[in-house]
Amino acid sequence: MLNLTIDGKKVSVEKGTTVLHAARKLGIEIPTLCYHEGVSPYGACRVCLVEVVKGIKTGLTTSCTCLAEEGMEVKSDSPRVLESRKLMVELLLARCPEAEKVKDLARKMGIEGVRFKREDKECILCGLCVRVCQEIIEASVIGFINRGANREVETPFQAQSDVCIGCGACSSVCPTEAIKIKEMFDKRILETWHTELELKSCKICGRYFVPKKELEHLKEKIELPEDIFEICTDCKRKSLTGKIGEIKTGAI
Ligand code: SF4
Ligand code: FES
Protein backbone atom coordinates (compact mmCIF):
# COMPACT_ATOMS: atom_id res chain seq x y z
CA MET A 1 0.00 0.00 0.00
CA LEU A 2 1.03 3.60 -0.63
CA ASN A 3 0.42 6.43 1.82
CA LEU A 4 -0.28 9.94 0.64
CA THR A 5 -1.94 13.12 1.86
CA ILE A 6 -4.71 14.97 0.05
CA ASP A 7 -5.83 18.32 1.46
CA GLY A 8 -4.15 17.39 4.74
CA LYS A 9 -6.00 14.06 5.02
CA LYS A 10 -4.05 10.80 5.01
CA VAL A 11 -5.07 7.96 2.74
CA SER A 12 -3.62 4.53 1.87
CA VAL A 13 -4.17 3.14 -1.61
CA GLU A 14 -2.90 0.25 -3.69
CA LYS A 15 -0.07 0.75 -6.16
CA GLY A 16 -1.49 1.84 -9.53
CA THR A 17 -4.27 3.95 -7.99
CA THR A 18 -4.74 7.41 -9.50
CA VAL A 19 -4.84 10.55 -7.38
CA LEU A 20 -8.45 10.99 -8.55
CA HIS A 21 -9.43 7.64 -7.03
CA ALA A 22 -7.43 8.29 -3.87
CA ALA A 23 -9.31 11.58 -3.48
CA ARG A 24 -12.65 9.85 -4.06
CA LYS A 25 -11.72 7.35 -1.35
CA LEU A 26 -11.49 10.31 1.01
CA GLY A 27 -14.81 11.71 -0.23
CA ILE A 28 -13.04 14.62 -1.93
CA GLU A 29 -14.89 15.62 -5.07
CA ILE A 30 -12.79 16.53 -8.09
CA PRO A 31 -14.65 17.49 -11.28
CA THR A 32 -14.06 15.43 -14.43
CA LEU A 33 -15.30 15.56 -18.01
CA CYS A 34 -13.09 13.22 -20.03
CA TYR A 35 -12.79 10.50 -17.39
CA HIS A 36 -14.81 7.26 -17.46
CA GLU A 37 -14.25 4.21 -15.22
CA GLY A 38 -14.51 1.82 -18.16
CA VAL A 39 -11.69 3.17 -20.32
CA SER A 40 -8.11 4.31 -19.96
CA PRO A 41 -7.61 7.89 -18.75
CA TYR A 42 -6.53 10.42 -21.34
CA GLY A 43 -6.08 13.73 -19.52
CA ALA A 44 -7.78 15.83 -22.19
CA CYS A 45 -10.17 18.21 -20.45
CA ARG A 46 -7.87 19.21 -17.56
CA VAL A 47 -10.77 20.08 -15.27
CA CYS A 48 -9.50 17.52 -12.74
CA LEU A 49 -6.27 19.44 -12.09
CA VAL A 50 -4.63 19.14 -8.67
CA GLU A 51 -1.43 20.52 -7.20
CA VAL A 52 1.29 18.04 -6.26
CA VAL A 53 3.87 19.19 -3.72
CA LYS A 54 7.37 17.75 -4.07
CA GLY A 55 9.77 19.29 -1.53
CA ILE A 56 9.81 23.00 -2.22
CA LYS A 57 8.39 22.53 -5.71
CA THR A 58 4.73 22.29 -6.62
CA GLY A 59 3.20 21.45 -9.96
CA LEU A 60 -0.24 21.14 -11.51
CA THR A 61 -1.23 17.80 -12.93
CA THR A 62 -4.37 15.96 -14.05
CA SER A 63 -5.53 13.77 -11.19
CA CYS A 64 -7.16 11.21 -13.52
CA THR A 65 -3.81 10.31 -15.08
CA CYS A 66 -1.48 10.90 -12.12
CA LEU A 67 -0.60 7.79 -10.13
CA ALA A 68 -0.37 7.99 -6.35
CA GLU A 69 3.15 7.78 -4.91
CA GLU A 70 4.42 7.05 -1.42
CA GLY A 71 4.63 10.26 0.64
CA MET A 72 2.90 12.35 -2.04
CA GLU A 73 1.22 15.54 -0.92
CA VAL A 74 -1.71 16.72 -3.01
CA LYS A 75 -3.83 19.85 -2.85
CA SER A 76 -7.19 19.64 -4.58
CA ASP A 77 -8.60 22.99 -3.50
CA SER A 78 -5.72 25.46 -3.37
CA PRO A 79 -6.34 28.89 -4.98
CA ARG A 80 -3.96 27.91 -7.81
CA VAL A 81 -5.90 24.71 -8.50
CA LEU A 82 -9.30 26.40 -8.41
CA GLU A 83 -8.15 29.23 -10.69
CA SER A 84 -6.58 26.82 -13.20
CA ARG A 85 -9.68 24.61 -13.31
CA LYS A 86 -11.80 27.71 -13.79
CA LEU A 87 -9.66 28.74 -16.74
CA MET A 88 -10.00 25.28 -18.32
CA VAL A 89 -13.78 25.35 -17.95
CA GLU A 90 -13.93 28.88 -19.32
CA LEU A 91 -12.01 27.73 -22.41
CA LEU A 92 -14.35 24.76 -22.84
CA LEU A 93 -17.35 27.01 -22.40
CA ALA A 94 -16.06 29.32 -25.13
CA ARG A 95 -15.67 26.31 -27.41
CA CYS A 96 -18.99 24.62 -26.55
CA PRO A 97 -21.30 27.28 -25.04
CA GLU A 98 -24.38 25.05 -25.27
CA ALA A 99 -22.94 21.91 -23.63
CA GLU A 100 -25.01 21.33 -20.49
CA LYS A 101 -22.27 19.60 -18.48
CA VAL A 102 -19.81 22.38 -19.25
CA LYS A 103 -22.40 25.03 -18.42
CA ASP A 104 -23.15 23.23 -15.19
CA LEU A 105 -19.48 23.12 -14.17
CA ALA A 106 -19.09 26.78 -15.09
CA ARG A 107 -22.09 27.67 -12.93
CA LYS A 108 -20.69 25.72 -9.96
CA MET A 109 -17.33 27.46 -10.38
CA GLY A 110 -18.92 30.89 -10.51
CA ILE A 111 -17.97 31.60 -14.11
CA GLU A 112 -20.27 34.31 -15.37
CA GLY A 113 -18.88 35.04 -18.81
CA VAL A 114 -16.09 34.01 -21.14
CA ARG A 115 -13.13 36.13 -22.13
CA PHE A 116 -12.31 33.98 -25.18
CA LYS A 117 -13.72 33.85 -28.69
CA ARG A 118 -16.98 31.90 -28.79
CA GLU A 119 -16.85 28.97 -31.21
CA ASP A 120 -20.26 27.26 -31.03
CA LYS A 121 -18.82 23.77 -31.35
CA GLU A 122 -20.38 20.72 -29.73
CA CYS A 123 -17.32 18.52 -29.16
CA ILE A 124 -14.79 19.26 -26.42
CA LEU A 125 -12.32 16.74 -27.90
CA CYS A 126 -12.33 14.65 -24.74
CA GLY A 127 -11.75 11.46 -26.75
CA LEU A 128 -14.17 9.38 -24.67
CA CYS A 129 -16.04 8.21 -27.77
CA VAL A 130 -12.78 7.18 -29.43
CA ARG A 131 -11.62 5.21 -26.37
CA VAL A 132 -14.97 3.48 -25.82
CA CYS A 133 -15.16 2.43 -29.46
CA GLN A 134 -11.58 1.19 -29.40
CA GLU A 135 -11.26 -0.35 -25.94
CA ILE A 136 -14.76 -1.62 -25.13
CA ILE A 137 -16.44 -2.24 -28.49
CA GLU A 138 -13.12 -3.08 -30.17
CA ALA A 139 -14.31 -1.52 -33.41
CA SER A 140 -12.09 1.60 -33.72
CA VAL A 141 -14.57 3.34 -35.99
CA ILE A 142 -13.50 6.89 -35.13
CA GLY A 143 -10.33 8.77 -34.33
CA PHE A 144 -8.82 12.22 -34.10
CA ILE A 145 -7.98 14.00 -37.33
CA ASN A 146 -6.13 17.27 -38.03
CA ARG A 147 -4.20 19.40 -35.58
CA GLY A 148 -4.67 22.57 -33.58
CA ALA A 149 -7.89 24.48 -34.16
CA ASN A 150 -8.98 22.00 -36.84
CA ARG A 151 -8.69 18.94 -34.63
CA GLU A 152 -11.86 16.83 -34.56
CA VAL A 153 -13.15 13.30 -34.16
CA GLU A 154 -14.14 11.62 -37.39
CA THR A 155 -14.49 8.41 -39.33
CA PRO A 156 -11.72 7.64 -41.86
CA PHE A 157 -12.09 9.99 -44.84
CA GLN A 158 -15.15 11.45 -43.10
CA ALA A 159 -17.20 8.81 -44.89
CA GLN A 160 -19.67 6.02 -44.04
CA SER A 161 -17.91 3.50 -41.83
CA ASP A 162 -17.96 -0.15 -42.79
CA VAL A 163 -16.86 -1.26 -39.31
CA CYS A 164 -19.38 0.73 -37.22
CA ILE A 165 -21.91 -1.64 -35.63
CA GLY A 166 -24.23 1.21 -34.61
CA CYS A 167 -24.20 0.34 -30.92
CA GLY A 168 -24.26 3.99 -29.83
CA ALA A 169 -21.72 3.49 -27.03
CA CYS A 170 -19.90 6.59 -28.29
CA SER A 171 -23.02 8.69 -27.88
CA SER A 172 -23.85 7.33 -24.44
CA VAL A 173 -20.48 8.40 -22.98
CA CYS A 174 -20.20 11.74 -24.76
CA PRO A 175 -20.31 14.47 -22.09
CA THR A 176 -21.64 17.09 -24.48
CA GLU A 177 -24.26 15.11 -26.41
CA ALA A 178 -22.35 15.91 -29.57
CA ILE A 179 -22.99 12.57 -31.29
CA LYS A 180 -26.27 12.54 -33.14
CA ILE A 181 -28.06 9.24 -33.65
CA LYS A 182 -31.61 8.78 -34.86
CA GLU A 183 -33.83 5.95 -36.01
CA MET A 184 -36.06 6.07 -39.07
CA PHE A 185 -38.24 3.00 -39.61
CA ASP A 186 -35.70 0.23 -40.42
CA LYS A 187 -32.53 2.33 -40.23
CA ARG A 188 -30.29 3.65 -37.46
CA ILE A 189 -28.60 6.81 -38.67
CA LEU A 190 -25.38 7.91 -36.98
CA GLU A 191 -25.37 11.40 -38.46
CA THR A 192 -22.10 12.46 -36.85
CA TRP A 193 -20.31 9.43 -38.34
CA HIS A 194 -22.05 9.62 -41.77
CA THR A 195 -23.24 6.07 -41.24
CA GLU A 196 -26.57 4.32 -41.81
CA LEU A 197 -27.28 0.79 -40.62
CA GLU A 198 -30.13 -1.61 -41.21
CA LEU A 199 -32.16 -2.59 -38.16
CA LYS A 200 -33.47 -6.05 -37.35
CA SER A 201 -37.15 -6.55 -36.59
CA CYS A 202 -38.32 -8.37 -33.48
CA LYS A 203 -39.53 -11.93 -34.18
CA ILE A 204 -42.55 -11.37 -31.93
CA CYS A 205 -43.79 -7.77 -32.31
CA GLY A 206 -42.12 -6.87 -35.60
CA ARG A 207 -40.64 -3.62 -34.25
CA TYR A 208 -37.20 -2.66 -35.59
CA PHE A 209 -34.97 -2.65 -32.55
CA VAL A 210 -31.25 -3.23 -33.11
CA PRO A 211 -28.73 -2.83 -35.94
CA LYS A 212 -28.12 -6.16 -37.69
CA LYS A 213 -24.38 -5.49 -37.49
CA GLU A 214 -24.55 -5.04 -33.73
CA LEU A 215 -26.29 -8.42 -33.43
CA GLU A 216 -23.61 -10.09 -35.52
CA HIS A 217 -20.97 -8.51 -33.31
CA LEU A 218 -22.70 -9.76 -30.14
CA LYS A 219 -23.12 -13.26 -31.53
CA GLU A 220 -19.39 -13.44 -32.13
CA LYS A 221 -18.61 -12.24 -28.59
CA ILE A 222 -21.21 -14.05 -26.46
CA GLU A 223 -22.52 -17.56 -26.69
CA LEU A 224 -26.25 -17.37 -26.07
CA PRO A 225 -29.31 -19.15 -27.47
CA GLU A 226 -30.14 -17.81 -30.96
CA ASP A 227 -33.60 -16.62 -29.80
CA ILE A 228 -32.06 -14.05 -27.45
CA PHE A 229 -30.86 -12.11 -30.48
CA GLU A 230 -34.18 -12.28 -32.31
CA ILE A 231 -36.49 -10.70 -29.75
CA CYS A 232 -36.66 -7.07 -28.60
CA THR A 233 -36.22 -6.11 -24.92
CA ASP A 234 -39.95 -5.36 -24.45
CA CYS A 235 -41.01 -8.77 -25.74
CA LYS A 236 -38.30 -10.48 -23.65
CA ARG A 237 -39.62 -8.65 -20.58
CA LYS A 238 -43.24 -9.52 -21.39
CA SER A 239 -42.41 -13.17 -21.95
CA LEU A 240 -40.45 -13.24 -18.65
CA THR A 241 -43.31 -11.51 -16.76
CA GLY A 242 -45.73 -14.04 -18.28
CA LYS A 243 -43.56 -16.92 -17.13
CA ILE A 244 -43.34 -15.46 -13.59
CA GLY A 245 -47.16 -15.07 -13.63
CA GLU A 246 -47.55 -18.71 -14.67
CA ILE A 247 -45.20 -19.81 -11.87
CA LYS A 248 -47.20 -17.74 -9.33
CA THR A 249 -50.54 -19.18 -10.48
CA GLY A 250 -49.07 -22.68 -10.44
CA ALA A 251 -49.43 -23.14 -14.20
CA ILE A 252 -45.76 -24.18 -14.39
S1 SF4 B 1 -17.81 13.64 -29.63
FE2 SF4 B 1 -18.23 13.72 -27.41
S3 SF4 B 1 -17.14 11.94 -26.55
FE4 SF4 B 1 -16.30 12.30 -28.61
S5 SF4 B 1 -14.51 13.62 -28.27
FE6 SF4 B 1 -16.25 14.97 -28.70
S7 SF4 B 1 -17.07 15.51 -26.67
FE8 SF4 B 1 -15.77 13.70 -26.39
S1 FES C 1 -10.99 14.23 -16.23
FE2 FES C 1 -8.87 14.37 -15.95
S3 FES C 1 -8.20 15.47 -17.66
FE4 FES C 1 -10.33 15.21 -18.02
Report which protein residue has its CA nearest ligand 1's atom 4. 129
**Would you say residue 83 has pLDDT above 80?**
yes
State the closest ligand 2 atom to the C-alpha of 64, by its place in the atom list counted from 1: 2
Q: Separation of 61 CA from ligand 2 center, angstroms?
A: 10
Q: Separation of 122 CA from ligand 2 center, angstroms?
A: 18
**Of 81, 104, 120, which residue constitutes the final position of a domain?**
81
The torsion angle over the Cα atoms of residues 27, 31, 36 and 42, rounded to 10 degrees, is -120
Same domain? For 74 and 135 the reply is no
pTM assigned to the model: 0.89
Average pLDDT of 30-36?
A: 97
**Of 23, 49, 81, which residue constitutes the final position of a domain?**
81
**Would you say residue 56 has pLDDT above 90?**
no
Q: What is the pLDDT of residue 251?
A: 59
| CATH at 56 | 3.10.20.740
- The residue with greater pLDDT, 7 or 251, is 7
Q: Separation of 153 CA from ligand 1 center, angstroms?
A: 7
Contact 165, 136 (CB under 8 A): no
| CATH at 189 | 3.30.70
**Would you say residue 244 has pLDDT above 60?**
no
Average pLDDT of 75-100?
A: 97
* 56: CB partners within 8 A, 6+ apart: none
Whether residue 52 lies inside any domain: the answer is: yes
**Of 44, 63, 81, which residue constitutes the final position of a domain?**
81
Same domain? For 6 and 74 the reply is yes
Q: Separation of 174 CA from ligand 1 center, angstroms?
A: 5
Domain that holds residue 29: 2-81
Residues with a CB atom less than 6 Å from ligand 2: 32-35, 43-48, 62, 64
Same domain? For 221 and 150 the reply is yes
Whether residue 88 lies inside any domain: the answer is: no
Report which protein residue has its CA nearest ligand 1's atom 2. 174
Report which protein residue has its CA nearest ligand 2's atom 3. 43
Among all bound ligands, the one having the nearest atom to the CA of 124 is 1
Determine which of 39-48, 157-166, 185-194, 222-231 has the lowest per-residue pLDDT on average. 222-231
Confidence class for position 91, pLDDT limits 50, 70, 90: very high
d(CA 208, CA 168): 16
d(CA 27, CA 21): 10
Whether residue 50 lies inside any domain: the answer is: yes
Average pLDDT of 71-76?
A: 96
Average pLDDT of 199-219?
A: 93
Q: Separation of 41 CA from ligand 2 center, angstroms?
A: 7
State the closest ligand 2 atom to the C-alpha of 46, by its place in the atom list counted from 1: 3
Q: What is the pLDDT of residue 241?
A: 73
Please work out whether the CB of residue 126 comes within 6 Å of at least one atom of ligand 1: yes
Same domain? For 50 and 140 the reply is no
pLDDT tens column, 150-185: 999 999 999 999 999 999 999 999 999 999 999 999
Total domain count, the chain: 2
| DSSP codes, the chain | -EEEEETTEEEEE-TT-BHHHHHHHTT-----SS--TTS-----S-TTEEEEEETTEEEEEETTTPBP-TT-EEESS-HHHHHHHHHHHHHHHHH-TT-HHHHHHHHHTT----SS-----S-----HHHHIIIIIS-----EEES-GGG-EEE-GGGS--SS-----HHHHH-TT----EEEETTEEEEGGGTEEEEEEEPTTT--EEEEHHHHHHHHHH----GGGGTS-HHHHHHHHHHHHHHHHTT--
State the closest ligand 1 atom to the C-alpha of 96, by its place in the atom list counted from 1: 7
**Would you say residue 226 has pLDDT above 90?**
no
**Would you say residue 45 has pLDDT above 70?**
yes
Whether residue 185 lies inside any domain: the answer is: yes
**Would you say residue 243 has pLDDT above 70?**
no
Q: What is the pLDDT of residue 61?
A: 97
